[in-house]
Amino acid sequence: MDRTRPLLNRGPIGHAGNVAVLAVPVAFLGYFFVYPIVAITLRGLTVDGAIDLSVFSDVITDTTLQGVARFTFWQALLSTILTVVTALPAAWVFARFTFPGKRVLEAATLVPFVLPTLVVGTAFLTLAGPRGVTGVDLTGTLWLILAAHVFYNYAIVVRGVGAYWQRLDPRFEAAARTLGASPSKAFRTVTLRLLAPAIASTSALVFLFTFTSFGVVLLLGDLKHTTIEVEIWRQTTAFLRLDVASVLAVVQLVGVAAILAAYGWFQRRTRVQFERSFDSSRRPEGRERWIVGAIIGSTLVILGTPIAMLLTRSFIGPTGRLGFENYINLFKLPEISGAFVEPATAIANSLRFALAATAIALVVGLLSSAVITYARRRTARVFDVFVMLPLAASAVTIGFGFLVALDRPVDIRTSVILIPIAHALVAIPFVVRTASPALAAVHRTLREAAATLGASPWRTWWTIDVRLVATAVLVAGAFAFAISMGEFGATAFIARPGAPTMPIAIFKLLGKPGPSPFGAAVALSSLLMIITGVAILVIDSLGVRDRREL
Amino acid sequence: MSAIIDDLSVMFGDVTAVDGLSLEIATGERFAVMGPSGSGKSTLLRAIAGLAAPTSGRIILDGADVTDLAPHRRPIGLMFQDYALFPHMSVIDNVAYGLRMHGATKRASRHTAARLLELVGLAGFERRAPGSLSGGEQQRVALARTLAPEPALVMLDEPLGSLDLALRESLLTEMRSVVERVGATSLYVTHDRTEAFSFAQRLAIMRHGSIIRVGTPDAVWNDPATTFVARFIGHPNVVPGHVVGFRAEAVTIPGSAVSIDDGPIDGVVQDTVFVDGTYEMTVRVGLDTLLKVIDIDSHPPGTRVHLSIDRGAVRELVLDEF
């Protein structure tokens, strides 16, 4: 007698539809993600189908590789601490105060986070590299890597902790004050305690990203200052030691799993039930104005300097003249430096790949979101973790996995379609995180209301479901596009010499001697930054807002 | 535009939410169903709307059996407890939605919707987003949206449930007058007796999935029939019959039927409160029976008093609570 229930709970698709919805992402992620990871593990730990740990023990007893692992860990820890310490004041300002231009600045903090790693690396090269604006060369030191990591992950802390901080009832601190606590004591005993889980889980995320840092370290580090991620690439491309690279990848995966476990543990502790949503922010008063102003100022300096340097340097031509020479060189570089491909072609390639990657990521990501939203609770939870895995495994692992695994059943390793697929894998977690909440927000009562007002199931789906998630889909698409445009870690393994992307072209240009290629790399980085920046502006302007009028 | 519910049952697994319920609502009648939470009243509405599947029984609207119809084919309107306004549509598009679904043109539906917004006092709110409205405004948009397609039966599920007390009273009056003006047949579900008594021409008390008392507000009030109904609708003195010399298991005594004078019943004042210009005393009679008595004079706690009861005003009740 259950006539109407399934229809309303699951939308207009029946059971068969559900199976199809589940099958697509499972097949996609299974073949392009799980299978390569398994292949890497087998490659590293077995020989001819039998377990063989000789390469494994060679790797873990190698003092150079031990040094790499140690450096990977320490730079991640230092980067994390430094990022949290510098970004917490800004998190406080954004959570507790309103000031002119807040919205713009808030959007601006997002920009570094979505900038391609190679752009960030290049920006820091213009700041303190051998051909930089300041004349100070800090490449091959820990400091430049740390600075780039702080710049890169600043937004995660500001947003992650700030969002939590904003919802924290300011009366908790007020209550502590009325009970005799000094301002600093009230902060330490109440606010900081309540924030601790949020800080810890955000730190775990920053640690994860810096632990698997690739592009930044590749450009700014040297043989000693390098991460496991870079070492996997070097072993693969320079020494063709796929077995050593596989072992390193397995070691890194274990590390990542541990970090993720810590992250999940902290995340569960941040789930304090907030009784209502607050906006506790207010205008700063009196002395506060100076403190808030100083923090806003330093945020602008930290986030603005590398970007400003990059843009400035892009207008300083090879001969030191101001102008568009570097940009013009992008179109006649083959004559100048013998680079095999015109960077202009790379721009066209990147745009094509980005469109394809966006389409793939949207299809797979939206179907995944549908599973997460509509499936039974257990299925949904398992699936939620499953689709997030590519985010954790690092782009290099994805690209390396393609190289190791995708010669079976058919050898597709040289196919150009792999590039958008790899990009889509990186983007899918972002699509899912954007689309799932929007799908979940389509409450059953809204569909029921539409039904009682005379809308058929299909009409309900079209007028309610589709319309409500449309914005989220656009945002997710813009995210996927920006990610694909800037993706380097995976692309570095699978890009065909004849079809480089913008980041690949930047990397190649940076590797060439002389001032012209460097200038061109800076110009290309600036272009890439502008493209991803526009995508972010689109995302932000579409973002959920309290629209008083529709 | 009448509604007949015939022997309707709804089960969720082993739980019977609605249990063989029958009900008739006449054309143009304002009917209320009240009951405590969990009594099955929301499920009743959902079953009539087609959102919950009945296990047995029939639902007949306007003479047509709609039991097997999908929700969108039934001539009903349901106003949801938290309104379920579509967040991506403006106020006018929300109200026009039902008309559009019934085939009206965009222009015609907007025209009608604007008229309804005017009726509920929201002229000028057409372009606003539902999220920017106050609770009371949202409530009125929801009412307009429900009424717009002129359903044969308008159902209101706890329509004032999410509002604060001060707002409820004014909105209740307004809502009744709007429903009255459009002449809709309506079914109002609430747990609040004030709402039910002031909205309905006829009301029913629901408990454990069935209706245990139905009638006009004054009939139900004056003769609640069982202790549960009497207590639920707010009778102050539901006491064992023997305490006041009745044979019945239980009786209800209106507050106005007890007076402090030289009557035959002895009691001790337990508590005195000054309410609305008179004193309300809680008087212990016998071992553990408490009676509410209203008097213009104060009798402080501890005072021994003699009570008399207007036996004609006392109603005998069936004990159905324990």
Q: Find the CB nearest B84 among A445, A468, A547.
A: A445
Task: Please check whether residue A140 is in contact with residue A222, taking contact to mean a CB–CB distance below 8 angstroms.
Answer: yes
Confidence of residue A375 (pLDDT cuts 50, 70, 90): confident
φ, ψ of residue B259 in degrees (nearest 5)? -140, 150
Largest CA distance in chain B: 75
User: A324-338, A477-491, A511-525, B220-234: which range is least confident on average?
Assistant: A324-338
Q: What is the mean pLDDT of residues A165-180?
A: 79
Q: What's the pLDDT at A171?
A: 75
Question: Using the 8-state DSSP alphabet, how is residue B300 labeled?
Answer: -
Residue B283 sits at φ, ψ, to 5 deg, of: -115, 130
Query: Which pLDDT score, from 0 to 100, does residue B45 have?
Result: 93
Q: Is B302 on the interface with A (CB under 8 A)?
A: no
How much is the pLDDT for B54? 93
Assigned token pair, A307: 């970007």
Preceding omega of B149 cis (within 30 degrees of 0):
no
B86/A464 CB distance under 8 A: yes
CA distances from B85 to A224, A435, B50, B225 (A): 61, 21, 19, 40
pLDDT (0 to 100) of residue A1: 36
Residue numbers in A near B89 (CB within 8 A): 467, 550
Q: Decide: A464 and A452 in contact? Cβ < 8 Å.
A: no
CB contact under 8 A, B98 and A454: yes
pLDDT, position A516: 84
Q: pLDDT (tens digit, 9 = 90+) per residue, B41-68? A: 999 999 999 989 999 999 999 889 999 9
**Most B CBs within 10 Å: which of A2, A439, A453, A542, as the mutation test of the B interface?**
A453
Angle formed by the axes of helices A343-374 and A515-542, nearest 10°: 30
The b-or-e profile of A220-242 (16+ CB within 10 A means b, else e) is bbeeebbbbbbbbbbbbeeeebb
| Residue A61, pLDDT above cutoff 70 | yes
Greater confidence (A437 vs B5) lies with B5
Q: Where in chain B is the domain with CATH 3.40.50.300?
A: 3-226
**Comparing A287-291, B52-56, B163-167, B313-317, which segment has the lowest mean pLDDT?**
B163-167
pLDDT, tens only, B74-90: 999 999 988 889 888 89
Average pLDDT over residues A195-200: 89
Give residue A271's pLDDT band: very low, low, confident or very high (50, 70, 90): low
**HSE-CB for A334 with a 13 A CA cutoff:** 8
Q: Report the largest interatomic distance among the alpha carbons of chain A, rounded to a whole angstrom.
A: 82
Judging contacts by C-beta atoms under 8 Å, the chain B residues touching residue A468 are 87-88
Give the chain A residue nearest B84 (alpha carbons).
Answer: A446
**A445 to chain B: closest CA residue:** B84
CB spacing of A448 vs B97 below 8 angstroms: no
Query: For domain B3-226, which architecture applies?
Result: 3-Layer(aba) Sandwich (3.40)
Q: Is the pLDDT of residue A67 over 60?
A: yes
Residue contacts between A and B (CB atoms, under 8 Å): 100
In the predicted structure, residue A10 carries a pLDDT above the cut 60: no
Alpha carbon B128 to chain centroid, angstroms? 31
**What tens digit of pLDDT does each residue of B84-113 get?**
898 888 999 999 999 989 888 999 999 999
Spatial CB neighbours of A288, under 8 Å, sequence gap ≥ 6:
A97
| pLDDT > 60? residue A520 | yes
Domains of chain A by start residue, with CATH: 26-53+323-544 (1.10.3720.10), 62-275+282-314 (1.10.3720.10)
- SS3 for A455? coil
**Which residue intervals of chain B bear CATH 2.40.50?**
229-317
Residues in chain B, total:
322
Paired tokens of A67: 């040094």
Report residue A275's pLDDT band, with 50, 70 and 90 as the boundaries. Answer: very low
Phi first, then psi, for residue B215 (nearest 5°) are: 165, -175
Q: Which two tokens stand for residue A110?
A: 């997002």
Chain B nearest CA to A441, separation (Å): 10
Instruction: Indicate whether A539 pLDDT > 80.
Output: no
Q: Which of A445, A474, A473, A450 is nearest to A461 (CA)?
A: A450
Nearest to A455 among B51, B74, B101 (CB): B101
- Please answer whether residues B30 and B37 qualify as being in contact, where contact means their C-beta atoms are separated by less than 8 angstroms: no
Residue of B nearest to A451 (CA): B72
More confident residue, A343 or B23: B23
Which pLDDT band holds residue A481 (cuts at 50, 70, 90)? Answer: very high
Task: Assess B77–A contact: CB distance below 8 Å, yes or no.
Answer: yes
Measured from the Cβ of residue B256, the count of other Cβ atoms closer than 10 Å reads 10
Nearest to B51 among A4, A546, A550 (CB): A4
**Residue A544 C-alpha, separation from nearest chain B C-alpha, in angstroms:** 11
Q: What is the dihedral of CA A490, A491, A493, A494, to 10 degrees?
A: 120
pLDDT value of residue A3: 34
Of A7, A446, A550, the CB nearest to B84: A446
The two structure tokens encoding residue B248: 């019945």
- Rounded Cα gap, residues A447 and A464, in angstroms: 7
Q: In this complex, do B70 and A448 lie within 8 Å of one another by their Cβ atoms?
A: no
Q: Which residues contact A266 (CB under 8 A, 6 or more apart)?
A: A197, A200, A201, A204
Least confident of A211-220, A381-390, A502-511, B177-186: A381-390
- Token reading at A98: 């309103």
Binning chain A into helix, strand and coil, the percentages to the nearest 5 are: 75, 0, 25
Q: What is the mean pLDDT of residues A141-165?
A: 91
Q: Does the pLDDT at position A219 exceed 50?
A: yes
Q: What is the pLDDT of residues B125-174, one digit of tens each?
A: 999 988 889 889 999 999 999 999 999 999 999 999 878 888 888 889 99
- Quote ipTM for the complex: 0.81
Phi–psi pair at A351, nearest 5 degrees = -65, -45
> Which of the four pLDDT bands, split at 50, 70 and 90, describes residue A333?
low
pLDDT tens digits, one per residue of A71-80: 999 999 999 9
What does pTM read for this prediction? 0.77
Query: Across all residues in chain A, what is the average pLDDT?
Result: 85
Pick the CATH number of B229-317 from 1.20.272, 1.10.10, 1.10.287, 2.40.50: 2.40.50
